């Protein structure tokens, strides 16, 4: 009970902080965006009560996940809590827990265990390359539609039969036609970050082992030791998570500053970074900023996305969103507007040109994999 009270107090503090007065030159939150910010804070309450971050190992020490089926934001910014049991007492109990918050209870067919079981099975076969019957290039958990979304080249009727026999639950898998998926790479022009012959977009300031620097894309900083801004060196690549031979949960690099340039708390569009959010949710509206295409926004479709690029690079545990990007935007920050600034949720790394979809590394993965801390401004 004490832990729950503390969690509620902390969430209220977060909400109050998010709604501090905004500068007249800054992005003004719409009622829908304010509601999303409130809902994200409510999601932290879900985390404190045992919901939310369900481990992929499926090793649970309580029975709450027997009915938990994920959470997402609807088009109005309301937090939707999916459950897999049509139980009025359960609904009442959940509503009582979150009676002061804008949470809706929705009954769906597949619980989170079933979704992850199918997702893990398909992902394992996909990464091992032992699915001869089906040409898969992506698989993701779609919490909004309560299904597993599978991207397949040359989609055939036999694909449905294959998975139906494999899981005896064909209704849990949604097939989509897969298209060429490219990693965002380079562009020359404007203020830019250069590494060898590659250009990319800088993300944000960070600190590693007492040294300040910046986060950038991993695949954009793998050719040379020095990273440039214009014609001047600004630092060295001290750590990178990029791999062309094994799967990546993040595609990012840490550039250790040589002290020539100051580290700003602003994005290139003038917005101030006020914090970070490690809880990206399906249905959440997010923005990206890149040197090539500047700012664009879209909706998060999946927070459990595994996919391969035409270069053979494999990304796992990625976030899929519907905003536009292009070559050179790689490494750009992904964020949402909150109060008097923006909160970072990820680092842009891939783009599906045909379907206008982008992929990004979760900021929590980037910080952990690079062993870095974000700067508190």
CA atoms of 247 and 186, how far apart (whole Å): 22
What are the structural domain ranges in the chain? 2-107, 112-177, 179-377
- Angle formed by the axes of helices 2-18 and 31-48, to 10°? 160
Q: For residues 338, 347, 55 and 64, what is the CA-based torsion angle, rounded to 10 degrees?
A: 20
Average pLDDT, the chain: 72
- Is residue 170 scored above 90 in pLDDT? no
Residue 219's Cβ-count burial label (10 Å; 0-12, 13-18, 19+) is: buried
CATH code, 112-177: 3.30.300
**Helix, strand, or coil (residue 164):** helix
Q: What is the pLDDT of residues 128-158, one digit of tens each?
A: 765 666 677 788 888 888 888 887 766 666 6
CA atoms of 75 and 38, how far apart (whole Å): 14
Q: For residues 172, 174, 180 and 184, what is the CA-based torsion angle, rounded to 10 degrees?
A: -60
CA atoms of 234 and 214, how far apart (whole Å): 10
> What average pLDDT does the segment 281-310 reach?
87
Greatest mean pLDDT among 21-30, 86-95, 163-172, 273-282: 273-282
Q: What is the pLDDT of residues 343-355, one digit of tens each?
A: 899 999 887 766 7
CA atoms of 274 and 272, how far apart (whole Å): 6
CA atoms of 156 and 228, how far apart (whole Å): 48
- Is residue 319 scored above 90 in pLDDT? yes
- Is residue 181 scored above 80 in pLDDT? no
In DSSP terms, 363 is beta-bridged to: none
- How many other C-beta atoms lie within 10 A of the C-beta of residue 369? 20
Give me the numbers of helices (H) and strands (E) for the chain, helices first please: 6, 22
Helix (H) or strand (E) holding 136, with range, is strand 135-142
Return the minimum-mean-pLDDT range out of 90-104, 294-308, 347-361. Answer: 90-104
Greatest mean pLDDT among 73-77, 228-232, 270-274, 340-344: 340-344
The pLDDT value recorded for residue 130 is 59
Greatest mean pLDDT among 83-92, 215-224, 243-252: 243-252
Query: Nearest-CA neighbor of 307 among 346, 358, 354, 273?
Result: 358
The pLDDT value recorded for residue 345 is 92
Q: Are 309 and 250 spatial neighbours (Cβ–Cβ below 8 Å)?
A: no
The pLDDT value recorded for residue 132 is 60
152 vs 299, higher pLDDT: 299
State in words which class domain 179-377 has.
mainly beta
State the pairing for strand pair 103-107/79-83. Answer: parallel
- Is residue 58 scored above 60 in pLDDT? no
Return the minimum-mean-pLDDT range out of 9-18, 25-34, 212-221, 307-316. Answer: 9-18
In which band, very low, low, confident or very high, does the pLDDT at 34 lie, cut at 50, 70 and 90?
low
Residues 6 or more apart in contact with residue 61 via CB below 8 angstroms? none
- How many other C-beta atoms lie within 10 A of the C-beta of residue 80? 20
In terms of pTM, does the model score above 0.75? no
Alpha-carbon separation of residue 26 from 138, 289, 376 (angstroms): 38, 15, 20
């Amino acid at each position: 009970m004490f832990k729950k009270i503390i969690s509620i107090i902390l969430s209220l503090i977060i909400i109050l902080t998010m709604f501090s007065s905004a500068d007249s030159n800054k992005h003004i939150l719409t009622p829908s965006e304010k509601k999303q910010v409130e809902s994200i804070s409510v999601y932290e309450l879900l985390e404190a009560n045992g919901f939310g971050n369900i481990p992929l190992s499926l090793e649970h020490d309580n029975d709450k996940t027997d009915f938990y089926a994920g959470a997402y934001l609807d088009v109005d910014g309301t937090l939707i809590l999916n459950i897999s049991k049509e139980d009025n007492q359960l609904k009442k109990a959940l509503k009582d827990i979150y009676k002061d918050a804008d949470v809706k209870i929705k009954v769906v067919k597949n619980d989170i265990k079933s979704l992850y079981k199918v997702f893990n099975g398909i992902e394992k076969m996909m990464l091992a390359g032992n699915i001869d019957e089906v040409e898969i290039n992506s698989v993701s958990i779609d919490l909004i539609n309560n299904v597993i979304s599978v991207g397949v080249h040359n989609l055939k009727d036999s694909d449905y039969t294959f998975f139906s026999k494999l899981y005896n639950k064909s209704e849990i898998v949604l097939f989509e036609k897969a298209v060429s998926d490219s990693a965002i790479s380079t562009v020359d022009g404007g203020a830019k970050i250069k590494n060898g012959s590659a250009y990319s977009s800088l993300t944000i300031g960070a600190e590693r082992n007492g040294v300040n620097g910046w986060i950038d894309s991993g695949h954009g900083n793998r050719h040379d030791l020095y990273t440039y801004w214009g014609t001047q060196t600004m630092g060295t690549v001290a750590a990178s998570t990029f791999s062309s031979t094994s799967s990546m949960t993040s595609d990012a690099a840490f550039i250790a500053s040589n002290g020539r340039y100051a580290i700003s708390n602003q994005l290139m569009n003038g917005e101030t970074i006020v914090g970070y959010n490690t809880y990206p949710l399906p249905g959440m509206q997010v923005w990206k900023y890149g040197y090539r295409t500047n700012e664009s926004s879209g909706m998060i479709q999946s927070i459990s996305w595994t996919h391969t690029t035409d270069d053979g690079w494999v990304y796992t545990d990625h976030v899929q969103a519907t905003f536009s990007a292009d070559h050179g935007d790689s490494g750009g920050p992904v964020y949402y507007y909150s109060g008097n600034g923006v909160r970072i949720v990820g680092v842009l790394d891939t783009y599906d040109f045909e379907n206008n979809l982008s992929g990004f590394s979760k900021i929590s993965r980037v910080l952990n994999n690079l062993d870095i801390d974000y700067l508190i401004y």
